[in-house]
Amino acid sequence: MIKRESLIDVIEFLTSKEKRKLASELIDVYFKEAKSLADFDAVGAAAIETKYTSMYLRCAEICYGLASTNEEIVIARENLINAYNFTNQPAKALFYIDLQLNAKPNDFDTQCLKIASYSLLGLRKESEELAQQLLVENPKQKENKEFLLSSIYLRQGKTAQGLMHWLNNFKPKHKIFNDMLKLKHWTGGAYPGRTIISVGEGGIGDELINIRFFDHLRDLGMHPILYATWDEYRSDVTDIIRRHGYQVEKNYLFFPNDALWCYHMNIPAHLGLNESQLWRKSYLFPLRNPKNKLNDTKLKIGIKVQGNPYFEQDHYRSIPIKEMLAILPENASIYYIDKGNEFDGCINLSNRIQSWDDTLDFIDQMDIIISSCTSLPHVAGAMGKTTIVITPILEYYIWTSTRTDHSSVWYGDNFFNFKQTVPGSWDEPLKKVKEFFNSGEYKQWI
């Protein structure tokens, strides 16, 4: 019998050391040895820890087939629903949600899964109506579940409120800053002369999106410091932030005793910002290292079609490279800007990118950046580069606002957002990108 807790402990250790490939290979070994429902459940739980979503789905389907008692069936069905949503198969998830509601009528958690499935299908009206209904029918759940309505607040222009609910206002206390250092949690207000410790928690894009708000904190007379929880593996990101005049620290033992702390992504919500205050001006700049100089006089388009494969939602945002290349101008030079991936049909820069400063240098030389929702368009947008981001139906909170055109409240007028309208299909947004070039509209922005 596979010991669930022991396997998960090993997988958590490997993923914490950025050894996800080894973790996935180990999970494959255990999968071949699994025999019972408990075994497959343990392997599935380990798979979700390392974002091995295809294995998580396989185990969830097997567990549902092996479940025999009513209790086992209900638990296995819920797991299967989550697995189908994780792998962007919301129609299948809805089928099992209806079965689950027959067994557990009006179950709040199952209804929340239904909201998620509606969202993945692009059924915005249905998902929001159900969310509002749940909060009326389950007032005791309001404190923990009101973030379901974050997209409504964002579309109403209630930016700070929407951000807070999307980012989850009810995060647990921070072990270091609350329990060890016993620092006060900053949730807004001006404290001139005080240090604000901003705890990094998201991906590279999230850290660079929100570093701009350190300027707002400085305007209030406060001294912001980014606590870099990622520094061991992303020292080049730390270098970028420091180079632009922001303080980054990785040792919490030297913070002032009267410092305040908050989560990095929550700063604009705590500041109470509205849409018009999210963008001021470009705030990231390239070094323009001579080694990165491109000798190319053609129209230069920098692209990226997928992000970190271990990010649990990467399969939602990944665009087939052939579909992307098919809609781009034939007379342009197409550069693939990524440190790891390479694709035929592109000028691959992976062997020339050693750090994020190199990436900024290459972005700087592009006429246009086109990418799925990865860190690349956020960095390009922060640099003021003409950018097109192609976003999935399950859009990141950054892309939800009062605007109904293709512009973004987070970036300048030369930043365009084309959204997916059909689950699993990129035809509509890619068509809009092609029209953008065919119409010649792009020429005014380069």
- Residue spans of beta strands (DSSP E) within 79-176: none
Collapsing DSSP to helix, strand or coil, 137 comes out as helix
CATH code of 77's domain: 1.25.40.10
Residue 311 reports pLDDT greater than 70: no
Residues 179 and 163 in one domain: no
**Do 377 and 385 contact (CB within 8 A), yes or no?**
no
Residue 197 per-residue DSSP state: E
Alpha carbon distance 412, 92 (integer Å): 39
Residues 312 and 420 in one domain: yes
Amino acid type, 20:
R
Residue whose entry in the numeric block shows the structure tokens 């180079």 = 243
Residues 159 and 42 in one domain: yes
| In a domain? residue 154 | yes
| In a domain? residue 281 | no
| In a domain? residue 346 | yes
Residues 78 and 26 in one domain: yes
| In a domain? residue 280 | no
Report the 10 Å Cβ neighbour count for 188.
Answer: 12
> To the nearest 5 percent, what fractions of the chain are helix, strand and coil?
55, 10, 35
Residues 400 and 335 in one domain: yes
**Predicted pLDDT of residue 12:** 87
Residue 109 reports pLDDT greater than 90: no
CATH code of 297's domain: 3.40.50.2000
Structural tokens at position 294: 């491109």
Alpha carbon distance 37, 42 (integer Å): 9
pLDDT in tens, 382-404: 999 999 999 998 888 899 999 98
Residues 181 and 268 in one domain: yes
Amino acid type, 113:
L
- Which of 137, 167, 197 is a domain's end point? 167
- Which of 227, 243, 273 is a domain's end point? 273
Residues 14 and 85 in one domain: yes
Residues 88 and 221 in one domain: no
Residues 207 and 342 in one domain: no
| In a domain? residue 279 | no
**Do 165 and 149 contact (CB within 8 A), yes or no?**
yes
122: left (phi over 0), alpha (psi -120 to 50) or beta: left
pLDDT in tens, 203-226: 788 999 999 999 999 999 999 999
Mean pLDDT of 129-156: 72
| In a domain? residue 115 | yes
**Do 134 and 145 contact (CB within 8 A), yes or no?**
yes
Amino acid type, 325:
L
> Domain range spanning residue 417?
290-445
| In a domain? residue 32 | yes
Alpha carbon distance 266, 5 (integer Å): 33
Residues 131 and 233 in one domain: no
Residues 138 and 200 in one domain: no
**pLDDT, averaged across the chain:** 89
Is 81 or 171 the better-scoring residue by pLDDT? 81
In order of 190, 194, 213, 271, the CA distances from 217 in angstroms are: 8, 10, 7, 8
Residue 266 per-residue DSSP state: G
Report how many domains make up the chain: 3
Our CA dihedral for 289, 292, 295, 297, rounded to 10 degrees, sits at -90
**Predicted pLDDT of residue 427:** 95
DSSP string over 382-400: HHT--EEEEE-SS--GGG-
List the single range of 39-53, 127-141, 271-285, 289-303 with lowest mean pLDDT. Answer: 127-141
Residues 99 and 12 in one domain: yes
Alpha carbon distance 380, 373 (integer Å): 12
pLDDT in tens, 237-254: 999 999 999 999 988 888
- Strand 195-199: give its sheet, edge to edge: 184-185, 260-263, 195-199, 223-227, 247-249
Q: Which of 242, 277, 255 is nearest to 186 (CA)?
A: 255
- Those residues whose C-beta lies under 8 Å from the C-beta of residue 207, and which sit 6 or more positions away, are 200, 226, 230, 237, 241, 264
**Predicted pLDDT of residue 140:** 57
Alpha carbon distance 183, 19 (integer Å): 34
Mean pLDDT of 333-340: 94
**Do 221 and 303 contact (CB within 8 A), yes or no?**
no
Quote the pTM value: 0.82
| In a domain? residue 284 | no
**Counting every residue, how long is the chain?**
446
- Which of 243, 273, 303 is a domain's end point? 273
Residue 363 reports pLDDT greater than 80: yes
